[in-house]
Amino acid sequence: MTNRNIGFIIRHQDPLILSAHTSVQHACQHMWLRRVGAVLVTDDKGALVGIFTGRDAVRTLGEDQDPAATPLAKVMTPKPETIGPEAAAIDALRMMSDGGYRHLPILANGKILGIVSRGDFKGLELDRLEDETGLWERIC
């Protein structure tokens, strides 16, 4: 199970993709209905320009911004790191661990294919990341 690639993990996925002009309130409603923790944000041509997560929603409310009037473009994380579908699951886990984020968009030739979060990975993949992290901590 530790050799799965990202394409296999997202093979049946229908990611939540919304325009950068969409309001935070509308995005949160969709996130709630779809039971997802992140929205892939696109420009008018459908290209990925950002990611909006539950953390961004909390920050928006904490800063006392009006969620009905605030567009995703204003509060999203712009230009998120991405990974391709051919990458190994452990590579995605490493990226998320190193970057301190929980969601990673999957793109191929600029086309959005999906998104992974830590919950998409199996115990053996997570165990391998923990073993690697422990090894680096002992070496350094």
Q: CATH number of the domain at 38, please.
A: 3.10.580.10
Is 1 part of a structural domain of the chain?
Answer: no
pTM, to two decimals: 0.85
Q: Is the pLDDT reported for residue 62 higher than 60?
A: yes
* 3-state SS, one letter per residue, for the chain: CCCCEHHHHCCCCCCCEEECCCEHHHHHHHHHHHCCCEEEEECCCCCEEEEEEHHHHHHHHHCCCCCCCCEHHHHCEECCCCECCCCEHHHHHHHHHHHCCCEEEEEECCEEEEEEEHHHCCHHHHHHHHHHHHHHHHHC
Q: Is the pLDDT reported for residue 139 higher than 80?
A: no
Higher pLDDT, 94 or 39: 39
Is 31 part of a structural domain of the chain?
Answer: yes
Predicted confidence (pLDDT) per residue in 11-49, tens digit: 999 999 999 999 999 999 999 999 999 999 999 999 999
Number of structural domains found in the chain: 1
Q: Measuring CA to CA, how many Å separate 43 from each of 18, 31, 63, 68, 103?
A: 9, 19, 25, 19, 19
**Residues spanned by the domain of 20:** 6-139
Sign for the CA dihedral angle at 59, 65, 68, 69 comes to negative
